[in-house]
A and B are shown apart, each in its own frame.
Chain A
Amino acid sequence: EVQLVESGGDFVQPGGSLRLSCAASGFTFSSHAMSWVRQAPGKGLEWVSALSGIGNDAYYADSVKGRFTVSRDNSKNTLFLQINSLRAEDTAIYYCAKSAPGSFRSDYWGQGTLVTVSS
């Protein structure tokens, strides 16, 4: 059974940093691209970032480019999202999602971790 468990969300001040983690199990982690998607309170889904299975191709939404860095440790089946220079508009639930083979289509999602940015 595919399981994705996010952690690392917290209450932080503007300008702060956080590192989100997503622990994966139930599939061959290194064979699948992974993505981060966020959802601000009461709003829709926003694609944030994606990373290829071996970690050599990373993609970002314009709204986070230069501030967010996605990475993975395939030896530990874990996906990361380093988020710097946090802004109030980054407040959201951050979901990690597993991609289907050979695609960036997300087929399984974790339950998310909440990031709140406020002074």
Chain B
Amino acid sequence: EIVMTQSPATLPVSPGERATLSCRASQTVNSNLAWYQQKPGQAPRLLIYGASTRATGIPARFSGSGSGTEFTLTISSLQSEDFAVYYCHHYNNWPPYTFGQGTKLEIK
């Protein structure tokens, strides 16, 4: 099983600042990596797939990078609606298609 490790667990950031979230895979997942945003009481929403492609309707302030085992989600200028929990998820080759434990983005 591929273990996905996200860091940090909690990230305090001020609105308007840049946020950088990390995700590491225990073995290569190539570029088969997605990022999801989840707000309280809501289902997850797809932000990024293929490590760096924004999903439909996702603002340009969200960007993803990386391949292999190291990935980054960057939010260039945080808006109030961006404070949420973010999960990385691999869908490489064979299951289980594991998730990271999440990074909670909170207002500083």
* A residues whose Cβ falls under 8 Å from a Cβ of B: 35, 37, 44-47, 50, 59-62, 95, 100, 103-112
Contacts and interface: CB of A to CB of B under 8 A. Distances in A.
A112 B41 CA distance: 10
A47 B43 contact: no
Contacts of A37: 44, 99
Interface in B56-108: 85, 87, 89, 91, 94-102
Range of interface residues on B (Cβ < 8 Å)? 20 to 34
Contacts of A47: 89, 95-99
Given A104-B91, A105-B32, A110-B43, A44 B1 contact: no
A35 B96 CA distance: 11
Nearest to A106: B46
A46 B99 contact: yes
Interface of B: 1, 32, 34, 36, 38, 42-46, 49, 55, 85, 87, 89, 91, 94-102
Contacts of A110: 43
Nearest to B44: A109
B101 A105 contact: no
A59 B51 CA distance: 23
Given A107-B49, A112-B43, A45 B91 contact: no
B103 to A, nearest CB: 10
A99 to B, nearest CB: 8
